Amino acid sequence: CTGIASSLEQSVFSPEGAELMLPSKSETTTFARHEFCNYPQFLKKASLTLGLCRVLPSTEHYCNLCTSILPINVLSFGKPIIKQKSNAICCVQIPIVGGLLAKVNPHSADHGCLSFTWHQEKNNITLVTEIAGNYQPALAGSRIPVPCWRNMLYSSTQRLLHEYVMWRFHGSVLKEFEKQCLNDP
C-alpha cells in the first residue's frame, strides 16, 4: 500500500423544523443501501462528468467506469458488499478490482474498496465515505516510498477529482434523503 490514496470524507446532516420527519430505521437502511450500492450509476451523471464517462455492466466484474469517447476502462468495480458495523445504520463496500487508474497486485485479493457508512444518532446523520483497504493508484507506481513527482501527479489530479466526486455524491444523497423526510407522512 502506498499510503497516498487514503481518503475520508464526512458530511453531517441535522434536519431542522417540524416539517422534517425522519423515516424509521429500516426505511433509512433501505434508502442508504440503495444510494450506496448505486454509486457507480451516480458516476455517469452528465452534470458530474460533463458526459465524459459512462458506466457499463461487465461480465468479468460488476461494472466498469469507462470514457465515453474511447473505450478505455478507467475503474472496474466489484459487486457491492453489505457490511455490519455496530455503530452504523448501513455500511456498503464496493471493491475496486481494476481499470486504468488502479494498480492491481495479482498476488493479493484486496485491491481496495470504496466504503460508504451511514451513522444516525437522534436527528444527526453522518455520511462517511473512504478509500479503504489496499487501493494503489496506478499514477503512484509500484515503488515504495512513492517518488515525489508521482505523489504530486496523483495529488494534483486523481485525488482532487475523487474529492470533488465524493463532495457531489454526499450532496446528492443528503438532498434525496431530505426529500424523503419531507414526503414521509
pLDDT at 171: 94
Q: Of 93, 91, 89, which is closest to residue 23 (Cα–Cα)?
A: 89
Partners of residue 81 on adjacent β-strands: 93
Cα separation, 29 vs 106, whole angstroms: 35
pLDDT, position 40 = 94
Average pLDDT over residues 122-138: 88
Is residue 136 very low, low, confident or very high in pLDDT (cuts 50, 70, 90)? confident
**What mean pLDDT comes out for the span 68-74?**
91
* Residue 109 CB neighbours (<10 A): 9
pLDDT category of residue 181 using cuts at 50, 70 and 90: confident
C-alpha to C-alpha distance for 157 and 152, rounded to whole angstroms? 8
Residues 140-167 have pLDDT tens digits of 887 878 889 988 888 888 888 889 999 9
Which pLDDT score, from 0 to 100, does residue 5 have?
A: 66
Q: Which residues pair with 9 in a beta bridge?
A: 129
Tens digits of per-residue pLDDT, 82-102? 998 888 999 999 999 999 999
Give DSSP secondary structure letters for the chain. Answer: --STT-EEEEEEE---STT--PPPHHHHHHHHHHHHHTHHHHTT-HHHHTT-EEEEE-SSSSEEEEESSS--EEEEE---EEE--TT-SEEEEEEEEESTTB---TT-S---EEEEEEEEETTEEEEEEEEESS--BGGG-S-SSPPHHHHHHHHTTHHHHHHHHHHHHHHHHHHHHHHHHHH--
- Which range, 6-10, 113-117, 123-127, 136-140, is most confident? 113-117
